[in-house]
Amino acid sequence: MSENGDGTVRLWLVERDYDSRNLVTLVYATPDGERYLRQERSAHLLKDGVTAAVDTAPSDLTVVDDEETRERYAAEADRMRDRHAPDETV
């Protein structure tokens, strides 16, 4: 996990789910898939979109315990990095 010059870590969007309560769950992960940040937001508040990447403090991250999930997150983070600028709306 590499930190940005300001002490934050860049995470890439790897998962987006909608539920019946009109909530959107966003999962951003480190490029190696080893750590993630989960956010729940109202679908109504996401009218401006979601960015391909976010920067956050390392202390906000959770470890991915499952190898299969870690590999999936790493593959999706690579795909997002290849196709999108960090501040691009996806």
Q: ∠ CA 15-73-55 to the nearest 5 degrees?
A: 75
Q: What is the pTM of this model?
A: 0.89
CB 42 within 8 A of CB 23: yes
Q: Is the pLDDT of residue 18 over 70?
A: yes
CB 63 within 8 A of CB 2: no
**Chain segment 22-72, per-residue pLDDT in tens:** 889 999 999 999 999 999 888 777 777 899 999 999 999 999 999 999 999
